[in-house]
Chains A and B, each alone.
Chain A
């Protein structure tokens, strides 16, 4: 496996950009008006929802199954607040349904 110079340069450039933006976020300490403090409080909620919802249906034609198991997993997360249990129940149910030939 040979590594060409321009590819190595692209790697290093991507490292610099990614690391720089993460560092800037952590180092920055700026006074913010209350509106933007409240704004920041909603960033994780909004972004997580944006990451979750479009990823639920998948591309294998199992949308209904996956919506159903996601709701079940959300219920487990709400009652237990345990991450691994949520993933286990959600994925386990998904596989059990699949095992019994459900494909919807």
Chain B
């Protein structure tokens, strides 16, 4: 309940990229992001007018860079790299024809379906598969 309030893409990313799966770890990621996000939003609101044009500094470039650092440890097999590559191309195409969120969603669904299909011959290796339950999202 508490951890859902602070959940963001980046916290999810860090948890998925590490081997730790616990409430404490998730909440820790979320809070460290939440606190710094809000503190620097305040700083930005107070000092924002000093910086001329954030876009000119290329600040938006931080976003793909930080997600690059998150995706690289996830690419463990050839299939992972193939799925990432095709998803990237799909997203490029979709981002031209679909409004923002939809292109990410469509790419995620198609890319993950592709990954699941490519690994259809692999035996299930998930450690927590014994009881066939798993925490979703």
Residues on the B chain within 8 Å of A37, using CB: 124, 126, 129, 134
On whether A78 and B74 interact (CB within 8 A), knowing A41-B115, A50-B108, A55-B60, the answer reads no
Q: Name B's interface SS.
A: helix
- State in angstroms the CA–CA spacing of A60 and B70 once bound together: 25
Asked if B71 is at the interface of the complex by the 8 Å CB criterion, the answer is: yes
On whether A26 and B114 interact (CB within 8 A), knowing A37-B126, A54-B95, the answer reads no
Residues on the A chain within 8 Å of B83, using CB: 42, 45-46, 49
B65, B74, B94, B137: the one within 8 Å of A45 (CB): B74
A-B contact count (CB 8 A): 200
Total number of A residues with any Cβ neighbor in B under 8 Å: 55
Residues on the B chain within 8 Å of A77, using CB: 68-69, 72-73
B68, B87, B112: the one within 8 Å of A40 (CB): B112
Nearest chain A CB to B26's CB is how many angstroms away? 8
Inter-subunit contact B55/A74 (CB<8 Å): no
Nearest chain A CB to B123's CB is how many angstroms away? 9
Inter-subunit contact B61/A94 (CB<8 Å): yes
B109 to chain A: closest residue by CB: A46
Chain A interface residues (CB < 8 Å from chain B) = 19, 22-23, 25-32, 34-56, 58-60, 62, 66, 69-70, 73-74, 77-78, 81-83, 86-87, 90-91, 94-95, 98
Chain B interface residues (CB < 8 Å from chain A) = 1, 3-5, 7, 9, 12-13, 16-17, 55-56, 58, 60-75, 80, 83-85, 87-92, 94-95, 103-104, 107-108, 110-116, 119-120, 122, 124, 126, 129, 132-137
